Structure 1
Amino acid sequence: MNNIYEFLKNLKDDKKLKECELLIVNDDKQAQIASDIVSFLGFTPFVLSDFRANFGDDLLSFSTELQEITKVLNEFYSHKKQNKILISPVRTISFSLPKEKCFDSYEINFADTIKIEEFKSKLYNWGYYFVDIVTSEAEASIRGDIIDICPLGSEFGYRISLFDDEVESIRKFDIEDQKSTKDEIETIQISPAFLALDEETYEGITEEILKVSSDAFIKDIHSLGFWYLNDLGEFLPNSMNCFITQESLEELDEVYVFEEKRINKDKFLTTPQIFKSKTHKEIAPANIKEFISFHEGKKVTIISSTEAKVKAHDLDLSDSKIKYLIEPYIINLVSNDEVIISLNQEIKKRRKKKIKLVIDELQVNDFVVHEKHGIGQYKGIEPVTVMGAKRDFVIVTYAGDDKLLIPVENIDLVDRYVADGSSYAVVDKLGKGSFAKLKEKVKDRLFAIANDIIKLAAARELVNGIKIDTNKHTLQEFRKSSGFDYTKDQSRSVSEIFKDLSSGRVMDRLLSGDVGFGKTEVAMNALLATILDGHQAIFVCPTTLLATQHFHGMQKRFEPYGISMAKLDGKSTAKEKSEIKKGLSSGEIQFVIGTHSLLGITAKDLALVIIDEEHKFGVKQKEKLKNLREDVHIFSMSATPIPRTLNLALSKLKGMSSLLTPPSERLGVRTYVKEYSDKLIKEIVLREKRRGGQLFYVHNNIASIEAKKADIEEIIPNIKVEIIHSKIKPADAEKILDAFEEKKFDILLATSIVESGLHLPNANSIIIDGADRFGIADLHQLRGRVGRSNKEGFCYYVVEDKKQITSDAVKRLVALESNSYLGSGTALAHQDLEIRGGGNIIGEAQSGHIKQIGYGLYLKMLEDALSTLSGDSKEEKKSVDIKLAISAFISDDYIVEDRVRLELYRRLSKSIDKEEVYKIEEEMEDRFGKPDLPTKQFLELIMIKILCLQKGIQTVSSYEMNITFTKADDTKETIKSPSKDDDDIIITTLKYLRK
């Protein structure tokens, strides 16, 4: 910073700043600093992206940088004032860049005539991608008389409506939800997405590209055009007045210099250099007011993005000795005659906003579990007229086509059936009492499991744990060396683990968080604390590939600390295994990462065992690890959420930590629902290939998976596809995953076996075939395979025929939120997703019982068993049978969408006090207006239910004007209503219950 400021200030003072047209810096970080300085000195900066490709690379994976370069050069050349400086990282400017004549713009005005074919041709030659739906810059879609286009640098798209060939309206539209604004605009400017080429030039470049030898999958102007600009390009350091920083020349040593297509380093050496400053020093004052007082007499400038920040630092805006500049610049310098201090901090890039839609938990044809009647199939909500009164009932079908009609006010008795994802439900027989017997059988088994859990926890409480010193300064330095700021959840989790390790008690803690949320980073803090304190640690993974992945990552992070570490897995030779085991026994090896091979090891001073993806280990395996030493600390990690209910029960027995916040650089997953076509599959695959990525293709049928592979290879020749599913041997499956990570093939064609697994950051598109046949939780988990790095993920839910699924189903599929929200527990109400986490915590293989009654009821019963044995038993849930002859339902005239009505029914049925009902009523009025009569009466029916529960009333029924209340002891009381009209029945019932 200091050298750039001193150099540019001297040029300005000597009135020679116009001599600098191009400033060459080290990287994009230095480019931003230079931009702030140029702006501060009163000139206009134009900053090129840091373009780190090598000549001949497939540039589709660098499309973002290239688009930014195109946009900035266009703006630079069209800026006609002289006070401008182009700032470029050295790697970018070492290439031939497009000349000024390559840039142009196209104006579209209201009432203009557009000849569609000519317009399409122009956009094509200018580098626009033609797509079905415009979702990002440089894309266009022409659908009849509607043109959607998103020019470079625009945060929104433009929707142009034509009447015949005349522009009828131009509106902006949100590329996230595709909704256009109401306001029309008069004119728009469209700039090139690549370069403003005419048809002849475009075809000339394309012909040259087709002749070259390249490993680019698709040889086109987007992938290779930048390398073959020929006379359209120029080396800007040759054609402009330029200067280069000394650090940039050092960077050139790492740049591969291609003699013909890239500037030779010698040419840079003749460029005037900006040397290190002799007069200005960079500063980071802790107390700004005090710092200024030490430099009295100097010219002082305070930079702040807001006046509020100035006041927060107790500085006086009216002080004439200080110049205040309200700008976003970050410059902190001091010299013999001036002080510049910025109150601003580096702003991280904003995360793109995502669409948020509410998803109900229940879909038609889902299997459900009724607490009393067992597993049936949900068939929707239907109005039924009973004794002249209309009510809504939940329809559940059982074996033999028997139907159970459940009043919507009791919909809380029904939960969606979830087992292990691969289980298919078997419906129960209605009214046979078999489900009640089954529940009792499961209950007995659950009491035994709960008893074992409590005994185990109690036994560990009596053992003195190994005390680990977690206050070492090195541990703080380790966190700082990560290269990123920890999320609040990560910092909290590290504190919780450190508290356990230093407490003198044995730690048994589970960390839950989605892949990519930083669980391993948290675990490394525990590992380092243990090893620095003189003890040994092991890190156990379920697969060899995962072990290898962790080993390489940790080796790099732990290198400065001189830790002796090793890897022990199925690939280790007999000799390696023997040496590692010997090293652990002697204490020579401090830390080992491995698979199940670690289960039988002995160590000299083992203090910590970390289990990654702990749900993939059986309870016996986990107990074997705990028994390596009775006072060993256990830290488990899982990528599945912990159910809130079970968390409360188990938190007394086990430490729980959660990572719910994604890292700031993590992008969301853009999700689409599409109808299957060969063209679509080709477009998706090529789009991912263009940006250098790989894909998952989920086809959940082993019998036809080979045929699907043949189809894909026929649609896209030369594409490399490999298959993985549950019948492939584990060793072979690992080899396939290994090859996928090493990018030896393009598409991993799999069953839903890939739902949980490795961190494969290069696979950022997933196609889920027959998405309407998957549960929401499965789709949610599968979508989590992509978007794990800082590259945006794409998920395509593909259905065979859109006409065959309901619009609600489409809405539900589209509504699955971005990966950023995984693990939040609030964005989506996926009870089954939470339930999976619960099954993982238990560890006991209870698939038979879970399959018979579903995870939801299984966990609820386990929670009850744990509470009872812990002496914290809760009152059994009661229900009310309401048989009032009144018409009470949320009418479809008031709320049209069944999905929204179902969601409100569920929320109201779960309400336990009148305040909850009033809040929901208030919300309904705000969203949909005043409730109509049947809706208002349904809200009053819910109030009757709540009051009955509070008074111990089991049944309330009416016949003519008689209203009868029946209590648990079968005592009855009958009262009379003034009439048999709905309003009189309701008023009389409420009056009785409120007295």
Structure 2
Amino acid sequence: MDRLILGDVGYGKTEVAIRAAFKAVMDGKQVAVLVPTTVLAQQHYTTFRERLATFPVKVEVLSRFRSQSEQKEVVENLEKGEVDICIGTHRLLQADIKFKDLGLVVIDEEQRFGVAHKEFFKKLRAQVDVLTLSATPIPRTLHMSMVGVRDMSIIETPPGERLPIKTVVAAFDERLIREAILREMERNGQVFFVNNRVMGINLLAERIQQLVPEARIGIGHGQMAEEKLAAVMADFVRHELDVLVCTTIIESGVDVPNANTLIINRADRFGLTQLYQLRGRVGRSSQLAYAYFLYEKEKRLSGDAEKRLKTIYEAAELGAGYGIAMKDLEIRGAGTLLGVKQSGYINSVGFNLYTQMLSEAVAGLKATGSGLSKEEIRLKNMPAPKLDLPLDAFIPEYYIQDLDLRLSIYQQLSALTSLAGVQEKEKELADRFGAMPPELENLLYSIRLRLLAKKAHVDTIVTEGSQIVVRMLGGLIINKSLLEPLRAGVIAGRNQVAIEFKKIGDKWKEVLEEVIWRLG
């Protein structure tokens, strides 16, 4: 197994990991849980132990919060097989770590690790299963999932009573900061105040203390002594502090449901994924949460910084993590799948064609071990062509009045994968419900056209003014001789075909279908 679990912050990815780990342990295997920070390692350690307390499962943690003697004991017990689940930071990747029988690796917040770190585990054993958790995966990981190199599951349903986070992008303003902190304190809540550098964090904390003298303020960052950092985090969790002035050490999975206001100083210096992950530290209960992204008043924002802040402001709805990751993929490129960076090869063929070539290679490998042909697997994995036609295509209520039955028919239609299947469904509908209305005929026509278009490597079929334009996937070149027998009104270009309404008239649907059929 090599599966990406894509779920927004607070959607329950950790619960999935706990259950997968429990199943692996019950099968006699050991589990490694790799996390990016010591704070998150400690939190997961507590969560795993509490959830599995009633079962014979030994959970341990390896991080700098443990003493050298404690770490040595854990390492020895791992090799003996006496530890079932080991949660750790990069410490788990060091040469002295040996598992007796490793069966599952869980990588949490994978966007925080380098490719070399993650591929290291796969070399430990040929049969090791890998479960990757992320709200905003790095472009390489997301792209590998989209083209089928690895599997992907998406958690789309938010927890009950979860509310979207109210997001504010503004210039640094002391009055705004004071109001935000006091509002949170009035409802007995807590505040994260994030600064992007350790340098100057003490001065910032003093400034906030002067602004809000009634607040209990603590400081947390990665350069603090282990005991001191652990103590500060524990105080914050116990609500002995109102405001935690900290660095991005809280970015990864830290869960404090009572903290429902986040203020980020110099937000323009953070990456898009970082901003999204940080915003996910609040709004983890039924309370309305607030996130303030502040930038310097006098300083002009760069183009990229402005885009990042605009994207995070617009992506305020629940479940926006996938959209953020897709935007990141679009901006940064997909990276090399077998290497650790983006090479020149993808630039020489273009992203779309590269994706298509890669999908075909993956389909070939999958066909080797399955009963399906390479062509069947390739078609199954190809993205559905986009259709935008001047047609009313739906099942009218008067034709099938029962809502559940109508939805069931929609599901059956969406699952059709062959022209023969469409024809069979057409006969069945006419037999069960009588003569079909034009809207349903249009719907079946659209399904038939989409299947033909997929086989022909068509990317989009869209209406543009007085034309219908058919564009090929990845800029594939059209063999114009295939379209010569068609009447006037069909104009073939290098990688697109235009069909003119005025010259074709009412027969445009038949002509469009024949064009797609000939291209395939």
**TM-score interval w.r.t. the shorter chain?**
0.5 to 0.7
Residue 848 (structure 1) shift: 8.6
Residue 817 (structure 1) shift: 2.6
Label 1:704 to 1:554 Cα distance change in 2 as closer, same or farther (>3 A).
Answer: closer
Alignment map for 1:423-462 (pairs within 5 Å): none
Residue 757 (structure 1) shift: 4.7
Matched, 1:817 2:296: no
- Once the two structures are superposed, residues 507-529 of structure 1 have per-residue CA deviations (whole angstroms, 9 ceiling, x without a partner) of 22221212321112112222222
- Amino acid of the residue matched to residue 188 of structure 2? G
- Amino acid of the residue matched to residue 123 of structure 2? N
Label 1:562 to 1:752 Cα distance change in 2 as closer, same or farther (>3 A).
Answer: closer
Alignment map for 1:86-485 (pairs within 5 Å): none
Quote the Cα distance in structure 1 between the aligned partners of 2:70 and 2:248: 35
- Aligned partner of 1:509 in structure 2 is 3
- Aligned partner of 2:23 in structure 1 is 529
Quote the Cα distance in structure 1 between the aligned partners of 2:121 and 2:106: 10
Matched, 1:602 2:98: yes
Residue 656 (structure 1) shift: 1.8
- Aligned partner of 2:359 in structure 1 is 867
Quote the Cα distance in structure 1 between the aligned partners of 2:163 and 2:64: 35
Residue 841 (structure 1) shift: 10
Contact 2:36–2:252 at 8 Å: present in 1 too? Answer: no
Label 1:586 to 1:687 Cα distance change in 2 as closer, same or farther (>3 A).
Answer: same
Select which of 101, 115, 130 maps to 1:634.
130
- Aligned partner of 1:946 in structure 2 is 469
- Amino acid of the residue matched to residue 76 of structure 2? K
Contact 1:516–1:789 at 8 Å: present in 2 too? Answer: no
- Aligned partner of 1:166 in structure 2 is none
Quote the Cα distance in structure 2 between the aligned partners of 1:810 and 1:729: 26
- Aligned partner of 2:163 in structure 1 is 667
- Once the two structures are superposed, residues 197-229 of structure 1 have per-residue CA deviations (whole angstroms, 9 ceiling, x without a partner) of xxxxxxxxxxxxxxxxxxxxxxxxxxxxxxxxx
Select which of 40, 44, 50 maps to 1:550.
44
- Once the two structures are superposed, residues 654-680 of structure 1 have per-residue CA deviations (whole angstroms, 9 ceiling, x without a partner) of 232221211214333233456654322
Residue 731 (structure 1) shift: 6.0
Contact 1:944–1:989 at 8 Å: present in 2 too? Answer: no
Contact 2:111–2:138 at 8 Å: present in 1 too? Answer: no
Label 1:768 to 1:861 Cα distance change in 2 as closer, same or farther (>3 A).
Answer: farther
Secondary structure in 2 matching 1:766? strand
Label 1:732 to 1:986 Cα distance change in 2 as closer, same or farther (>3 A).
Answer: farther
- Once the two structures are superposed, residues 266-292 of structure 1 have per-residue CA deviations (whole angstroms, 9 ceiling, x without a partner) of xxxxxxxxxxxxxxxxxxxxxxxxxxx
- Once the two structures are superposed, residues 321-374 of structure 1 have per-residue CA deviations (whole angstroms, 9 ceiling, x without a partner) of xxxxxxxxxxxxxxxxxxxxxxxxxxxxxxxxxxxxxxxxxxxxxxxxxxxxxx
TM-score by length of 1: 0.34
Label 1:564 to 1:614 Cα distance change in 2 as closer, same or farther (>3 A).
Answer: same
Residue 764 (structure 1) shift: 1.4
- Amino acid of the residue matched to residue 522 of structure 1? V
Label 1:918 to 1:552 Cα distance change in 2 as closer, same or farther (>3 A).
Answer: same
- Once the two structures are superposed, residues 9-59 of structure 1 have per-residue CA deviations (whole angstroms, 9 ceiling, x without a partner) of xxxxxxxxxxxxxxxxxxxxxxxxxxxxxxxxxxxxxxxxxxxxxxxxxxx
- Amino acid of the residue matched to residue 341 of structure 2? Q
Contact 1:777–1:832 at 8 Å: present in 2 too? Answer: no
Label 1:552 to 1:729 Cα distance change in 2 as closer, same or farther (>3 A).
Answer: closer
- Decide which structure has the larger Cα Rg and report it: 1
- Aligned partner of 1:172 in structure 2 is none
Contact 1:615–1:840 at 8 Å: present in 2 too? Answer: no
- Amino acid of the residue matched to residue 355 of structure 2? E
- Amino acid of the residue matched to residue 821 of structure 1? G
Select which of 24, 30, 34 maps to 1:540.
34
Label 1:567 to 1:756 Cα distance change in 2 as closer, same or farther (>3 A).
Answer: closer
- Once the two structures are superposed, residues 847-894 of structure 1 have per-residue CA deviations (whole angstroms, 9 ceiling, x without a partner) of 7979x98xxx76x5653452253358999xxxxxxxxxxxxxxxxxxx
Quote the Cα distance in structure 2 between the aligned partners of 1:730 and 1:841: 34
Select which of 672, 689, 697 maps to 2:185.
689
- Aligned partner of 2:257 in structure 1 is 761
- Aligned partner of 2:147 in structure 1 is 649
Secondary structure in 2 matching 1:559? coil
Select which of 713, 721, 739 maps to 2:232.
739
Quote the Cα distance in structure 1 between the aligned partners of 2:25 and 2:69: 25
Label 1:628 to 1:912 Cα distance change in 2 as closer, same or farther (>3 A).
Answer: closer
Label 1:734 to 1:918 Cα distance change in 2 as closer, same or farther (>3 A).
Answer: farther
Contact 2:110–2:137 at 8 Å: present in 1 too? Answer: no
Select which of 314, 318, 326 maps to 1:831.
326
Label 1:510 to 1:675 Cα distance change in 2 as closer, same or farther (>3 A).
Answer: closer
Identity fraction in percent: 32
Number of corresponding residues = 396
Residue 611 (structure 1) shift: 2.1
Quote the Cα distance in structure 2 between the aligned partners of 1:632 and 1:834: 28
TM-score by length of 2: 0.60
Quote the Cα distance in structure 1 between the aligned partners of 2:262 and 2:59: 36
- Once the two structures are superposed, residues 89-117 of structure 1 have per-residue CA deviations (whole angstroms, 9 ceiling, x without a partner) of xxxxxxxxxxxxxxxxxxxxxxxxxxxxx
- Aligned partner of 1:611 in structure 2 is 107
- Amino acid of the residue matched to residue 146 of structure 2? L
Contact 2:136–2:273 at 8 Å: present in 1 too? Answer: no
Select which of 35, 57, 66 maps to 1:572.
66
Say which structure, 1 or 2, has more relative contact order (CA 8 Å, 6+ apart): 2
Residue 787 (structure 1) shift: 0.6
Task: Compute the RMSD of aligned alpha carbons.
Answer: 5.0
Contact 1:673–1:813 at 8 Å: present in 2 too? Answer: no
Quote the Cα distance in structure 1 between the aligned partners of 2:502 and 2:271: 43
Residue 684 (structure 1) shift: 0.8
Quote the Cα distance in structure 2 between the aligned partners of 1:948 and 1:513: 33
Secondary structure in 2 matching 1:563? coil
Alignment map for 1:749-788 (pairs within 5 Å): 749=245, 756-769=252-265, 780-788=276-284
Quote the Cα distance in structure 2 between the aligned partners of 1:911 and 1:554: 44
Label 1:791 to 1:572 Cα distance change in 2 as closer, same or farther (>3 A).
Answer: same
